[in-house]
Structure 1
């Protein structure tokens, strides 16, 4: 039984500086034992935004899913309150199923490229790998449509 991923709500503080990634700041409270008081602090997360649909100032919900890269472990699930252009004018935020399907297509393309390269190495042909890689790209483009 897999635990439910944690859903956090935060504000986009940096967008448009990285490809397909934004920085989201979430609020939290920490307790100071000496002063016996709670203080408001924050955590910042690098979040995957595959369609570049977020703008600085948006309030979003994020969740931790499969690791996207070395520093990006979270993904945008929903825009709660947009800042700037309306949500309808922006690219759509991908659902979990759409993200998984996109990942699966990329993974299949990678496996086809690896198989083509291994076949070329076994046959001893270096130029054949680039020809087969072009065929793989055509197959991936056809499956993505």
Structure 2
């Protein structure tokens, strides 16, 4: 990437999506929705790997190109930067349950790139970010509803 490319870079995030053993398919609806995000210019996929954690906790990382039939993801595989290092794999796999499989996606939020670049040009820098898991939002809404019903 050139310095100009880096100046225009949007926020970069990652996701780790875990599946129980035998229940992982990255080429169906998940792949279609990911392709829609890329084609719409919402995100740019930077890296994607598959992690396999056996029952004893040993982890194997696999690039998409080694995963067999990729379906629509084959279009994206050739463009990946392979950014994740061995230490990243170990850290990401720590959250996985033994006997599971996970897909890891690293992506640039293209939708936010103009705002992020403007903030940097104005002298700003991101000092914190985060994400609220959907399960926590649902729990909060349910707790509020229960409080309204019971008044306690």
Larger fraction in strand: 1
- Whether the TM-score (by the shorter chain) exceeds 0.5 is no
Larger fraction in helix: 2
User: Radius of gyration: which is bigger?
Assistant: 1
TM-score (norm 1): 0.25
Which structure is richer in relative contact order (CA contacts within 8 A, separation 6 or more)? 2
TM-score (norm 2): 0.24
